[in-house]
Structure formats: structure tokens, C-alpha cells
């Protein structure tokens, strides 16, 4: 590896881990990760073994900064069983040596029973629960292999987790069907007590034609969805503070305040974390688990080296290679050309983002109100000088969260910004 000045090296502070690979106990029609089974044809069932688990956790603890996080994702990570996660916690304690470790679990909720709930509560996991909205909306695409519906089970899991005091983030995929129901979905989440929400626009490119698949959300419809959702979010402010949390909007508040947003799609470059598959193979990003974006395998080279490798750096730089329309766009500071995976047009992911028209609808709609929120906040919280440029990279964990929730940053957006971005 080319020697990189240590002061310029990215810290190994976050891993996104897929202990059961692409295996899942559901068969959601729009899931992009199901097809990844083709990359791991050696076995039918994919499970991380203890050797890989131990090595991964040891390296993260040895090479990472004082505060690190792991997002356990899939497929469906609960297929590993509780014993696997108990072992993970034991290893975090063994190698952590006083480090602060945040664990996040992204799940479809089907296996979340009382034992899981007690475990997640005991170890303060942040749970990302996949739920697309009221039953008819959720069950439209989120079904089992035999077509079984799942909404009722997921609602029950949400209730169980919330009753036990587990922090739960509702992960809602916005698809061609659900995009018509922003109000119903938002109010439904609130009625369940799911005030932390993350909306993920669904777009899959047909590999042959690079055209969006039928369940992909049309850009203009998504733009209208965002605008309506924004109104709902703002209408629920109380005493100038949000009472619900919508990750995309809160991330934009960071950008408006001159801070680095927690959502990677709004950053100028990618490549800030690593994905570890069940067999220890390491990839550039959750959306780029593919042979051409394979960085290596656990044990071959230190994870920190893989994060700072020329290959991961080149991957990171792709996002900043923007088409002229972006370079001339007044929303570039906030939009940053969107997520790389949504750049269908043009060659090598340097074309215009599929959702461009959505963003061009949404940004002018929300711009003045974002500015007003920040201006009001600055007036109120004189101690928090959000405009200081030198703070753009790092926010103190004990300062009030820039999203305005009134909680400390470490108890708010820092907690909800650990790479749980998809599905």
C-alpha cells in the first residue's frame, strides 16, 4: 500500500457487518441484497464463524479510536441466533479495553421475541426495524418466500422493543406504491411510538438495460413525498424543536449549519466505512458488495489499511466526479450529487442522479425553512456556534445536537447515524 500520512488517514470507527451474508427469512420483492448470493456460491447457507468474528472485533478495537460502532445487517442478522451476538458482546468487552462501543442491529423483526428484546435492551443496541407503513403498504412488497404477509409480526416486535425501552429507528423503503401515502405512513409510525424514522427511496437498475425496475419510486413522485413529509415534520415542532426525527432532514440541518452531515449520501465523498461479509471478505460499501469492489479479506491486511487503501480511496473519490449539471447546480452544497448507487446515467457512476428531479423539487421547497430553523437555533443557543468552520468535521458528543432535539449529540443524531442506511 502507498504510505498515507497518518494524520490524513481515515479512522476505523465504523464497520457494517453481515454475519449471515445475504440470507434472509423473508423474500421482499425489492431487496437488492438477495442477489448477492451469487457472489458466495461456495455454500448455500452463509454464516460468520467465530474465528472471523473474533479477528474482526479485535482489529476494530485495536485499530479504532476511543469510540467505535458496529452495524449488524444482512440479509437478516438475527438468523445467527442470540448465542452469536452474546459472543460478539463478550469479545467487545474482552478487546475493548475501555472503548465505547455502539451496536446497531438492522432487522425485519420476525425473530425478535422476549429473549432478543431483553438482550438488545441490556446492551443498548439501536435497532433499525424494517417497516414500510400500515399493513397494506408494508405487505405490498415485504412478504415471505411463499407470499406470507409480515406486517402484524413486525408491529408486535416494535411494540415489544419500545415497551422495553430499546431505541428503535423505523426503516421505511419508499417504493412506487408507498410513495402515494406519506401522511398515512408518518402518522402510522407516530401512532406506534416510532418517532425515529428513516425513509429510503427504492431504486433498482435492471442490470441489462440500466433502467429502473417496476418497484422503483419515480423521481417526481419522490420529490412530492419529501415535500409532504417535510411539512408533517415541521408541523410537529414544539417550542421550535422537532418532536419526531427524520434522518434525511436532520442530516440536512447539519449541512445548513455548516457541519458534516451524518448521512453519507450528503457527503462529498464515499468510502468512510467498511463492509464485512460473513466469510471475512471486505468491501467498499453496502451497495457495492461485488468482486470489483472487494478490498480484501480479514487477516490478510489490517482493516485500517484496507480503509485507507488506494482502492477504497479511489472508490471514495468517484462521488466527487460530478456531471456538469451538478457542478452548476445551486443545491450542490447540500445534495452532493446524491448516492453513487443512484447514478444510472452516463459511464462509471459519473452521470446524473436518478433522483435529481426529486431533489430539485424538494430543496427549493424546504430551503427557507431550513435556513430559518438554523437562524432561530443560533439566536437561542448562543453557546453553540454552529457556523465555526473548524467544527465542520467533528462535533463534540456532549454539545446539544444540531438537529434541535434538545438532547446531547451523542444521545441523538450520533446514535442514529451509524451507517444504517438501506432497506
CA atoms of 55 and 59, how far apart (whole Å): 6
Rounded (5°) CA angle 99-105-111:
140
**Residue 306 binds to ligand SF4 (criterion: CB under 6 A):** no
Which residue in 36, 155, 247, 341 binds ligand SF4 (CB under 6 A)?
Answer: 341
| Distance in Å, CB of 46 to ligand SF4, minimum | 22
132 assigned to active site: no
CA atoms of 48 and 329, how far apart (whole Å): 45
Please, which of residues 404-423 interact with ligand SF4 by CB under 6 A?
421
> With contact defined as beta carbons under 8 Å apart, do 76 and 26 qualify?
yes
Residues in the interface with ligand SF4 (CB under 6 A) total: 23
**Residue 359 binds to ligand SF4 (criterion: CB under 6 A):** yes
CA atoms of 316 and 323, how far apart (whole Å): 16
**Candidates 102-110, 215-223, 333-341, 400-408 — which segment interacts with ligand SF4 by CB under 6 A?**
333-341
CA atoms of 360 and 220, how far apart (whole Å): 9
**Candidates 36-44, 86-94, 188-196, 322-330 — which segment interacts with ligand SF4 by CB under 6 A?**
322-330
**Candidates 19-27, 73-81, 294-302, 321-329 — which segment interacts with ligand SF4 by CB under 6 A?**
321-329
Kindly name the residue from 23, 286, 342, 418 that is annotated as catalytic. Answer: 286
**Residue 14 binds to ligand SF4 (criterion: CB under 6 A):** no
Tell me 363's DSSP state. H
CA 137 and chain centroid, separation: 22
> With contact defined as beta carbons under 8 Å apart, do 17 and 73 qualify?
yes
**Candidates 102-110, 167-175, 301-309, 319-327 — which segment interacts with ligand SF4 by CB under 6 A?**
319-327
CA Rg value for the chain:
20
Please, which of residues 126-165 interact with ligand SF4 by CB under 6 A?
none
Which residue in 123, 331, 344, 365 binds ligand SF4 (CB under 6 A)?
Answer: 331
**Residue 340 binds to ligand SF4 (criterion: CB under 6 A):** yes
> With contact defined as beta carbons under 8 Å apart, do 184 and 134 qualify?
yes
User: How many helices (H) and strands (E) would you count in the chain?
Assistant: 13, 10
**Residue 339 binds to ligand SF4 (criterion: CB under 6 A):** yes
**Residue 200 binds to ligand SF4 (criterion: CB under 6 A):** no
**Candidates 98-106, 148-156, 211-219, 337-345 — which segment interacts with ligand SF4 by CB under 6 A?**
337-345
Q: What is the largest CA-CA distance in the chain?
A: 60
3-state SS assignment for residue 322? coil
Minimal CA–CA distance to 37: which of 73, 71, 75?
75
**Cross-strand pairs, 276:** 17, 282
* Chain length of the chain: 423
Select 187 or 332, whichever has its Cβ closest to ligand SF4. 332
Which residue in 68, 329, 412, 414 binds ligand SF4 (CB under 6 A)?
Answer: 329
3-state SS assignment for residue 297? strand
CA atoms of 246 and 263, how far apart (whole Å): 11
For residues 200-232, one letter each, b for 16 or more C-beta atoms within 10 angstroms of the residue's C-beta and e for the rest, the string is bbbbbbeeeeeebbebbbbbebbbbbbbebbbb
Please, which of residues 257-296 interact with ligand SF4 by CB under 6 A?
264-265, 270, 285, 287
| Distance in Å, CB of 287 to ligand SF4, minimum | 5
Which residue in 22, 134, 201, 337 binds ligand SF4 (CB under 6 A)?
Answer: 337
**Contact residues: ligand SF4, CB under 6 A:** 264-265, 270, 285, 287, 319, 325-326, 329, 331-332, 335, 337-341, 352-353, 356, 359-360, 421
Catalytic residue set: 286
Amino acid at each position: 500500500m502507498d504510505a498515507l500520512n497518518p494524520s490524513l488517514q481515515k479512522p476505523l470507527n465504523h464497520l457494517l457487518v453481515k454475519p449471515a451474508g445475504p440470507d434472509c427469512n423473508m423474500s421482499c420483492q425489492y431487496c437488492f441484497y438477495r442477489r448477492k448470493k451469487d457472489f458466495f456460491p461456495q455454500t448455500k447457507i452463509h454464516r460468520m464463524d467465530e474465528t472471523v468474528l473474533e479477528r474482526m472485533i479485535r482489529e476494530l478495537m485495536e485499530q479504532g479510536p476511543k469510540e467505535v460502532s458496529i452495524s449488524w445487517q444482512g440479509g437478516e442478522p438475527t438468523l445467527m441466533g442470540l448465542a452469536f451476538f452474546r459472543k460478539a458482546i463478550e469479545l467487545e468487552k474482552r478487546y475493548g479495553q475501555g472503548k465505547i462501543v455502539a451496536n446497531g442491529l438492522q432487522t425485519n423483526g420476525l425473530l425478535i421475541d422476549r429473549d432478543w428484546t431483553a438482550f438488545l435492551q441490556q446492551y443498548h443496541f439501536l435497532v433499525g426495524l424494517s417497516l414500510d407503513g400500515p399493513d397494506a403498504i408494508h405487505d405490498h412488497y415485504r412478504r415471505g418466500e411463499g407470499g406470507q404477509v409480515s406486517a402484524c409480526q413486525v408491529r408486535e416486535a416494535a411494540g415489544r422493543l419500545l415497551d422495553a425501552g430499546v431505541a428503535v429507528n423505523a426503516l421505511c423503503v419508499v417504493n412506487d406504491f408507498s410513495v402515494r401515502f406519506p401522511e398515512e405512513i408518518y402518522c402510522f409510525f407516530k401512532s406506534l411510538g416510532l418517532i425515529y424514522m428513516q425513509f429510503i427511496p427504492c431504486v433498482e437498475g435492471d442490470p441489462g438495460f440500466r433502467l429502473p425496475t417496476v418497484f422503483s419510486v419515480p423521481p417526481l413522485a419522490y420529490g412530492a413525498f419529501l415535500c409532504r413529509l417535510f411539512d408533517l415534520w415541521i408541523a410537529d415542532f414544539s417550542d421550535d424543536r422537532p418532536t419526531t426525527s427524520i434522518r434525511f432532514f436532520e442530516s440536512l440541518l447539519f449541512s445548513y449549519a455548516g457541519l458534516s452531515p451524518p448521512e453519507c449520501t450528503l457527503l462529498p465523498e464515499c468510502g468512510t466505512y467498511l463492509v464485512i461479509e460473513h466469510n471475512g471478505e471486505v468491501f467498499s460499501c453496502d451497495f457495492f458488495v461485488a468482486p470489483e469492489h472487494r478490498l480484501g479479506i480479514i487477516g490478510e491486511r489490517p482493516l485500517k489499511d484496507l480503509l485507507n487503501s488506494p482502492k477504497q480511496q479511489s472508490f471514495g473519490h468517484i462521488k466527487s466526479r460530478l456531471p456538469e449539471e451538478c457542478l452548476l447546480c445551486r443545491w450542490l452544497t447540500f445534495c452532493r450529487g446524491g448516492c453513487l448507487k443512484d447514478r444510472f446515467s452516463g459511464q462509471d457512476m459519473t452521470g446524473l442522479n436518478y433522483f435529481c428531479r426529486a431533489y430539485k423539487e424538494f430543496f427549493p421547497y424546504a430551503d427557507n425553512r431550513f435556513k430559518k430553523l438554523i437562524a432561530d437555533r443560533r439566536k437561542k443557543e448562543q453557546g453553540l456556534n454552529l457556523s465555526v468552520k473548524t467544527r465542520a468535521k467533528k462535533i463534540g458528543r456532549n454539545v446539544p445536537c444540531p438537529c434541535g432535539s434538545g438532547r446531547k449529540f451523542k444521545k441523538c443524531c450520533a446514535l442514529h447515524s451509524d451507517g444504517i442506511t438501506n432497506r
